[in-house]
Amino acid sequence: NAQNVGFIGLGNMGSHMAFNLLKAGHTLCVYDRNDAAVLSLVDKGASKADSPREVAEQSDVIITMLPASSHVEEVYTGSNGLLRSSRDLRPSLLIDSSTIDPQTSRVVAAKVSTCRLSTNARRIGFETPIMLDAPVSGGVGGASAASLTFMVGGPEKGLKAALPLLHAMGKRVVHCGGAGTGSAAKVCNNLAMAISMAGVSEAFALGQRLGIDALTLSNIFNSSSARCWSSDTYNPVPGVMENVPASRNYVGGFSCQLLGKDLGLALMAAKETGSPIPLTTQVHELYANICQKGYSHEDFSNIFQRLYQGEPLH
């Protein structure tokens, strides 16, 4: 069933996700503060709006894919934001796929639930509009191939209504619980990913100095207890695997800057909940240092090169 979808945030991820919705036959109205990103989608068949508020006036479902919490707050509650379209809201379902802090996801979802549906809203069984936090894993490759994994927080009936759209952009959808739990899952995933990447890099650097060839060590790891995504899918050592950022000078992939943002979210969440996070604190500092040295746009597996191979960072 084709739906009127509004899409805001057409960057590295959002541009592909929006295009996949168009390919699945949905009608798309787009907005981004970068005009070039908007025009590229308009060329493919989308219509454009001049503000989030205008998107809301034309859409039954909204999807946002923005850099960070402040951008999500602005797009939802700013002076030309989604929730300012008029007194009542036309979209009954709002899906935020940005990686942001769970607290912001909960606060914005609560604001959405205090809105009323407008008379021209497409009624899909909700009394009030529902917002889901639905961050993704799978990177730009997954966004382009429509094979993302969605981690979803929010009411079950909202998730049920969102499924056809999520399946046009991804392969797996996991319901994590109430509002904010999708964001929480994403923050925890990236925390563990960063620490394991640092651990694998440290072990390979030591191994090389002990005279073990990286390829041999990766074969050992991948059939032993050190096996993990950072060793068998995204190995940080140049030449060990083809088609990973490490084998193309750490170009493309997931930037140190974005990972640094996500580790910052983990620190914030740990503070709010009183959780001890000694390893996250240390890895956050390592990546802050890598960014300061001018490598913030490189893929985060560059920690192998920048921390252990080149000039010392400290």
Chain positions contacting ligand NAD, by CB under 6 A: 8-14, 31-34, 37, 65-67, 71, 74-75, 98-99, 136, 139-140, 254, 258
**Residue 216 Cβ, how far from ligand NAD at the closest point, in Å?**
30
Choose between 71 and 284: whose C-beta lies nearer to ligand NAD.
71
Annotated active-site residue in 23, 111, 160, 186:
186
SS3 132: strand
Residue with Cβ nearer ligand NAD (65 or 205): 65
Q: Shortest Cβ distance from residue 32 to ligand NAD (Å)?
A: 4
User: Which residue number is nearest to ligand NAD in terms of Cβ?
Assistant: 11
Q: How far is the CB of 40 from ligand NAD (least distance, A)?
A: 10
Residue among 37 and 290 whose Cβ is closer to ligand NAD: 37
Q: Strand pairing of 148-153 and 136-137?
A: antiparallel
The residues that bridge with 8 in the sheet, in sequence order, are: 31, 64
Q: Where are the beta strands (DSSP E) in the chain?
A: 4-8, 27-31, 47-48, 61-64, 88-89, 93-96, 116-117, 130-133, 136-137, 148-153, 170-177
CA 272 vs CA 101, 195, 269: distances in Å: 11, 21, 5
Instruction: Give the tokens for residue 261.
Output: 């943002």
Query: Of 15 and 305, which CB lies nearer to ligand NAD in the complex structure?
Result: 15
3-state helix, strand, coil in the chain (%, to 5): 50, 15, 35
State yes or no: is 186 an active-site residue: yes
**Residue 16 Cβ vs ligand NAD, minimum distance, rounded to whole Å:** 9
Catalytic residue annotation:
186
